[in-house]
Amino acid sequence: MSKILILGANGGIGRLFCRKARDAGFVLRAMVRNDEHCSYFDSQGIESVVGDLEGSFAHAFEGCRQVAFVAGSGAATGGDKTLLVDLYGAIRAVEESEFRGVDQFVMVSALRVEKPLEAAPALRHYMVAKLLADQRLLESSVPATVLRPGRLTDDHGSGCVRTLVDPGSGFDISRENVADCIVEAFRQPSAVNRIFDLLDGDVPIPEMIMRGSSQPM
């Protein structure tokens, strides 16, 4: 089985995905920023490697055939972190994946990223960074899946989502549901070369991915 490199493994979605993917039998390598974070993944029986999206991380790709980019600076950090992590870090990860001939790259992006000026002012720079990173991935030679979740919550995952953006049904999705979507994106071939808007809903996640619903690239 191919090894998956997780970039942003120590974040909220990253930890959930690593646990779920491990339980599903995937072979994983979690990239973390320092040795202190390695102990958590070691205790979970997950291989870890120290690397920094703002610095050196090419070595983390060695032996990995699939990549999950779940890193994100978010609205609480400054524009400098957004540029270095969400934009340039993501672009460098795509370029390294191209260089190594990676078999699949799953990018966790953001809902409505294609309309960054419609976002709240504090989020616009983040949305622009995500949009440009997505575009670089879509223009690359790497087989890709782009997941665009709405507003993230810490609610318990329902295992069901929707791809239709309906303001009357809200714009939230639990981090756990996103993590489950990443697992299915690696499990099902129909996820390759697709873009999925993601919100909490009523369609079982495996069914949604299997349908290949949402947007083709």
CB 3, CB 66: distance < 8 Å: yes
User: Which residues belong to the active site?
Assistant: 126
User: What are the pLDDT digits (tens) for 131-182?
Assistant: 999 999 999 999 999 999 999 999 999 999 999 877 767 899 999 999 999 9
**DSSP code per residue over 75-130:** TTS-HHHIIIIIIIIHHHHHHHHHHHT-SEEEEE--TTTT-GGGS-GGGHHHHHHH
Closest CA to 128 of 154, 162, 91, 96: 91
- pLDDT tens-digit profile of 27-67? 999 999 999 999 999 999 999 999 999 999 999 999 999 99
The reported pLDDT for the residue numbered 168 is: 67
The CATH number for 181's domain is 3.40.50.720
pLDDT (tens digit per residue) in 173-209 = 999 999 999 999 999 999 999 999 999 999 999 999 9
**Strands 194-200 and 215-216, bridge-based pairing:** antiparallel
What's the confidence (pLDDT) of residue 122? 87
The better pLDDT of the pair 79, 29 is held by: 29
Domains in the chain, number: 1
- At 80, the pLDDT band (50, 70, 90 cuts) reads confident
Centroid of chain to Cα 166: 23
Domain of residue 54: give its range: 3-216
Which residues are paired to 4 by β-bridges?
Answer: 28, 66
> Is pLDDT above 80 for 26?
yes
Closest CA to 29 of 204, 21, 133, 82: 21
